[in-house]
């Protein structure tokens, strides 16, 4: 479903080109659950952002669902992104001014989904994540684990084919982390969502079907589980 | 979708109460002032435009200059012959009307049964008046209403005052105790925005002069209705040709006279003629006030703009998240515009309410009744929606474009961009440039107005009571004078033709000893009673005041036999080429009055201080006095006044007592300036308020952003005053920049303004320094709360929050 060819990303720091990603080749099939690991600063987040169309590579070719991303205009890219990709962050990144319900609803609004349909979809996912009771609370009134649950619910509300998660459990305790990972596995197995996650935890990485190790912007190793 | 935009915007605004309140307060005040000013401007600009024939009506100007004059005389007062003769002679003129201000010198007394009123707005006009001006008749017939002498047309509210609900037509009113006049019609009230204002309009034919066509004298205003398509310039040309060809014999050599025509709609704001029916406005002030209106609005918008962009750092995170969730730039743009729209809507409503409350007070200032009703709805609705759209775009478009362009990845890391910091500073500087400019102007205008009021004009105005006695025979005046002269508190009394601070009479010295026979010098002249010079404290440089013998001479003999004696001012003597001591005893002739110069006075101002002193001649002539001047002594003025009033009542029970102080009259001559000064005061206060509000808002965010830096500095040992100095200096730098930019601009503008006064202050440096100090002080006080808060922060807390 996704293919990176020769992808590099570099910054100019003090006149020197420093490579954050260096000639990455990566193919991901639909239905995979990939864990990306590697030391801090190795370029994991950068890679994930490029895959998620939030960032652009300096060089290389990027194909997603058969489209050559590097040839697309901003508008087409945005349309492709909206309907196919969901993002989950370590720092949750919920909007403080919006309630749980509204946070989850927002992506649907941006997709021009009708109000009645939105209601049904949000009610459904609240129910599935068992956070119906929290729907009128604001992010500040939730625990970290609950906030991340809302973050995942929000990422999934548009039924994306690809879920990207940057250290989704980084701010959670191990029990909460495990719950999230269970949820990911279930999504992957039962709903067929392709998942790419960045994680520092060996144990959480094991939930995936493939583990990729990044080192200094290069793929150091890749093994299937 | 729309609902979501509103809900989000609403909640965001509620969650940020300080910013929201500051934005709304600034904008509401700005919008309120904008509405007040535009209403005032509308009222000025619609002046006289409601007349159905407005584009075809012109006013005649009477201009002349002799070779000995320094200046031209341009007057709106025209000879009686102008209208009847030109109407006949010139094809382009369809009709014409002479208007005489019957209540010009003193109120007209009008009696109906037992009711006695003083009417202050009574005009007399030729019977063509209603054909030309086309007022709507509620009763009576427009065509014939003025055709017989003694007919009188009333406005609706005047008719109601006299007759209640009875039919006024055919009723007889007793005017000035002698004339019985019959009401022949009732018209709608005359709008306040008409140059011709009246409560009663009588037939011009009741004046003796209506039957003679004189070219050398007259007290009328002349208006022509031009034929459709006739050009005013060609009519004016024909008038002047007639003047030089046909009336050649009447012209004195060396005296150049010409007529001008002004469009009716130009009279109020563009006329330079003196002695019009009402003092004219000044287009310059219209430009200035339009500029002020726009500037105020822009300043208020800047506040909002600055606060929004200052918060950009905080909002960067939200924008990033929304983009990750699939928001397109357009959608974010709409969201921010919606926020701006909500703020604008709230400000607009509050601004409207404020304006509604402020209109009565503002009307007082502006000198005419203003309100939202001044606007026709078909104009107000577009104004308000235009205002809404403009302000929303002004305040919303830039931040919306700017914020919606944020890149999600960089922003979610929490680094807000501070790229627009310079723009923000620039805008604050702009606000303060305007504030400083206004502060300087206010101080200078106030200074100049005080200067005028306290200037030594050569006349001692204090405690001089002016009574309107318009045309009362001198023997009656004398009896009354004698009766009050015994009362305590009265120092001296004298009578004169005009008020001594506004002497209007245009005369000509047509012969003078030692000059060629065709000598001619335009002067201002005024018949006065003995004691005029003394009562007003006018200094004599040479010679002496009139004696009872001079008095007797002009009172008894016929005009032809009178031996006049003149008192001239220094300027007149100079114009005649005489030193004061040489002037005494010289023979001169003033419009047929032959006599000797008896005294020379030190120069005194007898007209507006916009003009410098010109030659003036006082002469004893007791035929017609309109003012009685009573010099009272200080202390217990009230008793003195009551005494005079009682004596008046016992002498003339049927003529209401009318008096005012000379001081007061003098001050009223500068009403236009006082008014502009007043408006300037208000709007300076508003500008300063808005700018300080903006600075305050900015201070909140800047200090918040610097909490960490301040904390570290405190850990390193900085004292509270170190920190206050550090943080305030940033703001004060902006204010200093503003002062440096604004001062020369204000200097230039005020210099121009002062040129209009013949008597003016010099611009001294202390005004600029004072303004600078004032502004810095205001700015410092504004930011001090925030800087102190920053300085008093607990450093541990400040560091942890990062
Ligand atoms: N705007 C930038 N300019 C210069 N260098 C940058 C910029 N953004 C990121 N980098 C560099 O790119 C490298 C990779 O960053 P990235 O966030 O992808 O690391 P990471 O593998 O996710 O690390 P971590 O595990 O700590 O999250 C880092 O060394 C960082 O310094
Ligand atoms: Mg990372």
Cα separation, B148 vs B128, in Å, equals: 12
The rounded Å distance from CA B558 to ligand 2 centre is 115
pLDDT in tens, B31-56: 999 999 889 888 888 889 999 999 99
Nearest CA to ligand 1 atom 17: A45
Cα separation, A111 vs A130, in Å, equals: 25
Contact A110 B325 (CB under 8 A): yes
Mean pLDDT of B126-147: 92
Cβ(A54)–Cβ(B408) below 8 Å: yes
Mean pLDDT of B569-584: 93
Cβ(B575)–Cβ(B68) below 8 Å: yes
Is the pLDDT at A19 greater than 80, yes or no?
A: yes
Instruction: Give me the pLDDT at residue B801, please.
Output: 42
Instruction: Give me the pLDDT at residue B292, please.
Output: 85
Phi, psi of B12 (to 5 degrees): -60, -45
Contact A110 B327 (CB under 8 A): yes
Q: Does the CB of A55 have a partner CB in chain B at under 8 Å?
A: yes
Instruction: Give me the pLDDT at residue B541, please.
Output: 93
**Among the ranges given (B76-80, B155-159, B790-794), the one the predictor scored with the smallest mean pLDDT:** B790-794
Instruction: Give me the pLDDT at residue B536, please.
Output: 92
Per the rule left: phi > 0, alpha: psi between -120 and 50, beta: everything else, B182 is beta
Q: Which residue has the higher pLDDT, A179 or B413?
A: A179
Contact A95 B318 (CB under 8 A): yes
Which chain B residues are closer than 8 Å to A54 by Cβ? 323-324, 408-409
Mean pLDDT of B80-108: 91
pLDDT in tens, A95-120: 777 899 988 998 888 788 899 999 99
Which chain A residues are closer than 8 Å to B12 by Cβ? 97
Q: Does the CB of A82 have a partner CB in chain B at under 8 Å?
A: yes
Distance from CA of B290 to the nearest CA of A (A): 41
Cβ(B283)–Cβ(B269) below 8 Å: yes
Residue of B13, B325, B336 best to disrupt the A interface, most CBs of A under 10 A: B325
Nearest CA to ligand 1 atom 10: A20
Is the pLDDT at B651 greater than 60, yes or no?
A: yes
Is the pLDDT at B645 greater than 50, yes or no?
A: yes
| Ranges A8-17, A163-172, B152-161, B759-768, most confident | B152-161
pLDDT band at B798 (very low <50, low <70, confident <90, very high): low
**Among the ranges given (B64-73, B154-163, B385-394), the one the predictor scored with the smallest mean pLDDT:** B64-73
Nearest CA to ligand 1 atom 2: A11
The rounded Å distance from CA A122 to ligand 1 centre is 35
Q: Which residue has the higher pLDDT, B352 or B335?
A: B352
| Ranges B233-237, B609-613, B729-733, most confident | B233-237
Is the pLDDT at B795 greater than 70, yes or no?
A: no
A16 CB near ligand 1 (under 6 Å): no
- Residues 153-192 (A) with a CB less than 8 A from some CB of B: 154, 158
B137-140 vs B221-226, strand pairing mode: unpaired
A199 CB near ligand 1 (under 6 Å): no
Nearest CA to ligand 1 atom 4: A11
Cβ(B75)–Cβ(B273) below 8 Å: yes
Tell me which residue of B131, B98, B123 sits closest to B190, measured CA to CA.
B123
Is the pLDDT at A37 greater than 90, yes or no?
A: yes
B255-263 vs B57-66, strand pairing mode: antiparallel
Instruction: Give me the pLDDT at residue B712, please.
Output: 66
Strand order in the sheet with A218-224: A85-89, A162-166, A194-198, A33-37, A210-215, A218-224
Q: Does the CB of A94 have a partner CB in chain B at under 8 Å?
A: yes
Distance from CA of B414 to the nearest CA of A (A): 11
- In a 10 Å sphere around its CB, with 0-12 CB exposed, 13-18 middle and 19+ buried, how is residue B377 labelled? exposed
Q: Does the CB of A11 have a partner CB in chain B at under 8 Å?
A: no
Tell me which residue of B621, B604, B514, B603 sits closest to B566, measured CA to CA.
B621
Mean pLDDT of A8-27: 90
Contact B328 A110 (CB under 8 A): yes
Is the pLDDT at B371 greater than 80, yes or no?
A: yes
Neighbours of B397 (CB within 10 A): 15
Which SS3 state, helix, strand or coil, does residue A142 take?
coil
Cβ(A225)–Cβ(A34) below 8 Å: no
pLDDT in tens, B659-679: 889 988 888 888 777 877 887
pLDDT band at B797 (very low <50, low <70, confident <90, very high): low
B627-632 vs B540-543, strand pairing mode: unpaired
**Average pLDDT of the residues of chain B:** 86
Contact B1 A154 (CB under 8 A): no
Is the pLDDT at B419 greater than 60, yes or no?
A: no
Residue of A45, A90, A91, A95 best to disrupt the B interface, most CBs of B under 10 A: A95
Q: Which residue has the higher pLDDT, B411 or B770?
A: B770
Cβ(B119)–Cβ(B151) below 8 Å: no
For B312-338, give the DSSP string: HHHHHHHHHHHHHTT--HHHHHHHHHH
Instruction: Give me the pLDDT at residue B802, please.
Output: 33
Cα separation, B428 vs B442, in Å, equals: 21
Is the pLDDT at B446 greater than 90, yes or no?
A: no
DSSP state of B190: P
Cα separation, B321 vs B334, in Å, equals: 16
Instruction: Give me the pLDDT at residue B415, please.
Output: 46
A43 CB near ligand 1 (under 6 Å): yes
Tell me which residue of A187, A168, A182, A170 sits closest to A87, measured CA to CA.
A168
The rounded Å distance from CA A201 to ligand 2 centre is 13
Nearest CA to ligand 1 atom 30: A41
Is the pLDDT at B557 greater than 70, yes or no?
A: no
């Amino acid at each position: 479903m996704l293919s990176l060819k020769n992808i590099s990303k570099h910054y100019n720091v003090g006149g020197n080109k420093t490579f954050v990603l260096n000639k990455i080749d990566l193919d991901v099939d639909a239905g995979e659950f990939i864990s990306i690991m590697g030391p801090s600063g190795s370029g994991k987040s950068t890679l994930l952002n490029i895959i998620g169309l939030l960032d652009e590579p300096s060089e290389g070719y990027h194909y997603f669902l058969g489209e050559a991303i590097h040839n697309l205009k901003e508008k087409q890219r945005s349309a492709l992104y909206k309907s196919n990709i969901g993002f989950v962050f370590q720092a949750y990144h919920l909007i403080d001014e919006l309630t749980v319900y509204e946070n989850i609803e927002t992506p649907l609004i941006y997709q021009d989904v009708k109000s009645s349909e939105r209601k049904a979809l949000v009610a459904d996912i609240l129910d599935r994540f068992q956070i119906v009771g929290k729907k009128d609370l604001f992010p500040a009134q939730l625990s970290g684990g609950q906030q991340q649950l809302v973050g995942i619910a929000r990422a999934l509300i548009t039924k994306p084919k690809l879920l990207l998660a940057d250290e989704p459990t980084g701010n959670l305790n191990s029990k909460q982390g495990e719950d999230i990972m269970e949820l990911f596995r279930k999504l992957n197995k039962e709903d067929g969502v392709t998942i790419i996650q960045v994680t520092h935890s060996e144990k959480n990485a094991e939930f995936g079907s493939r583990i990729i190790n990044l080192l200094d912007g290069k793929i150091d190793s890749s093994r299937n589980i | 979708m729309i609902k979501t935009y509103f809900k989000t915007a609403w909640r965001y605004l509620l969650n940020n109460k300080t910013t929201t309140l500051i934005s709304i307060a600034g904008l509401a005040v700005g919008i309120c002032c904008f509405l007040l000013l535009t209403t005032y401007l509308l009222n000025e600009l619609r002046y006289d435009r409601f007349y159905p024939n407005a584009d075809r009506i012109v006013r005649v100007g009477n201009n002349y200059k002799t070779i000995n004059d320094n200046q031209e005389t341009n007057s709106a007062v025209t000879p009686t012959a102008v209208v009847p003769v030109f109407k006949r002679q010139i094809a382009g003129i369809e009709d014409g009307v002479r208007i005489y201000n019957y209540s010009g010198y003193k109120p007209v007394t009008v009696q109906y049964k037992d009711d006695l009123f003083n009417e202050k707005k009574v005009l007399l006009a030729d019977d063509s008046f209603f054909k030309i001006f086309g007022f709507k008749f509620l009763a009576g017939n427009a065509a014939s209403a003025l055709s017989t002498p003694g007919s009188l047309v009333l406005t609706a509210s005047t008719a109601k005052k006299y007759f209640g609900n009875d039919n006024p037509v055919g009723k007889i009113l007793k005017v000035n105790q002698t004339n019985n006049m019959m009401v022949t019609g009732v018209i709608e009230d005359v709008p306040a925005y008409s140059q011709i204002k009246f409560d009663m309009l009588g037939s011009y034919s009741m004046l003796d002069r209506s039957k003679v066509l004189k070219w050398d004298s007259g007290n009328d205003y002349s208006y022509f209705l031009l034929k459709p398509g006739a050009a005013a310039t060609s009519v004016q040309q024909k008038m002047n040709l007639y003047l030089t060809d046909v009336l050649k014999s009447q012209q004195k050599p060396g005296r150049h006279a010409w007529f001008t025509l002004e469009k009716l709609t130009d009279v109020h704001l563009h006329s330079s003629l003196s002695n019009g029916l009402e003092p004219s406005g000044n287009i310059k002030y219209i430009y200035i006030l339009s500029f002020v209106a726009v500037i105020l609005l822009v300043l208020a918008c800047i506040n909002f703009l600055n606060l929004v962009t200052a918060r950009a750092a905080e909002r960067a995170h939200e924008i990033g998240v929304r983009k990750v969730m699939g928001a397109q730039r357009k959608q974010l743009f709409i969201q921010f515009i919606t926020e701006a729209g909500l703020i604008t809507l709230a400000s607009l409503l509050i601004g409207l309410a404020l304006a509604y409350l402020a209109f009565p007070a503002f009307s007082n200032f502006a000198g005419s009744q203003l309100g939202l009703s001044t606007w026709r709805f078909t104009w107000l609705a577009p104004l308000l929606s235009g205002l809404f759209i403009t302000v929303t775009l002004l305040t919303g478009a830039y931040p919306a474009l700017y914020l919606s362009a944020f890149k999600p990845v960089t922003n979610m890391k929490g680094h807000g961009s501070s790229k627009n910091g310079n723009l923000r500073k620039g805008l604050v500087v702009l606000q303060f440039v305007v504030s400083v400019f206004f502060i300087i102007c206010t101080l200078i205008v106030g200074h100049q107005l005080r200067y005028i009021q306290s200037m030594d004009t050569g006349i001692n105005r204090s405690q001089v009571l002016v009574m309107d006695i318009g045309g009362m025979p001198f023997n009656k005046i004398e009896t009354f004078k004698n009766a009050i002269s015994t009362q305590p508190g009265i120092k001296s009394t004298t009578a004169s033709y005009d008020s001594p601070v506004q002497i209007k009479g245009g005369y000509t010295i047509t012969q003078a000893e030692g000059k060629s026979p065709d000598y001619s010098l335009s002067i201002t002249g005024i018949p006065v009673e003995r004691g005029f010079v003394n009562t007003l404290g006018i200094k004599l440089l040479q010679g002496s005041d009139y004696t009872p013998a001079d008095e007797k001479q002009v009172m008894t003999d016929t005009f032809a036999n009178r031996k006049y004696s003149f008192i001239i001012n220094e300027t007149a003597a100079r114009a005649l080429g005489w030193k004061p001591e040489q002037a005494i005893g010289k023979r001169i002739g003033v419009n047929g009055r032959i006599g000797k110069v008896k005294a020379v006075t030190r120069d005194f101002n007898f007209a507006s201080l916009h003009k410098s002193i010109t030659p003036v001649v006082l002469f004893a002539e007791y035929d017609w006095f309109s003012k009685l001047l009573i010099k009272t002594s200080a202390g217990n003025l009230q008793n003195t006044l009551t005494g005079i009033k009682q004596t008046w009542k016992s002498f003339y029970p049927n003529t209401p007592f009318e008096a005012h102080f000379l001081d007061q009259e003098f001050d009223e001559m500068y009403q236009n300036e006082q008014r502009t000064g007043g408006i300037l005061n208000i709007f300076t206060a508003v500008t300063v308020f808005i700018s300080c509000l903006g600075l305050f808002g900015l201070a909140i965010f800047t200090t918040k952003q610097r909490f960490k830096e301040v904390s570290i500095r405190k850990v390193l040992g900085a004292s509270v005053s170190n920190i206050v100095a550090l943080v305030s200096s940033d703001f004060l730098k902006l204010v200093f920049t503003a002062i440096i930019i604004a001062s020369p601009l204000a200097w230039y503008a005020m210099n121009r303004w002062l040129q209009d006064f013949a008597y003016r202050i010099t611009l001294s440096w202390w005004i600029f320094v004072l303004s600078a100090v004032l502004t810095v002080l205001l700015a410092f006080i504004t930011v001090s709360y925030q800087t102190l808060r920053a300085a008093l922060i607990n450093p541990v807390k400040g560091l942890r929050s990062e």
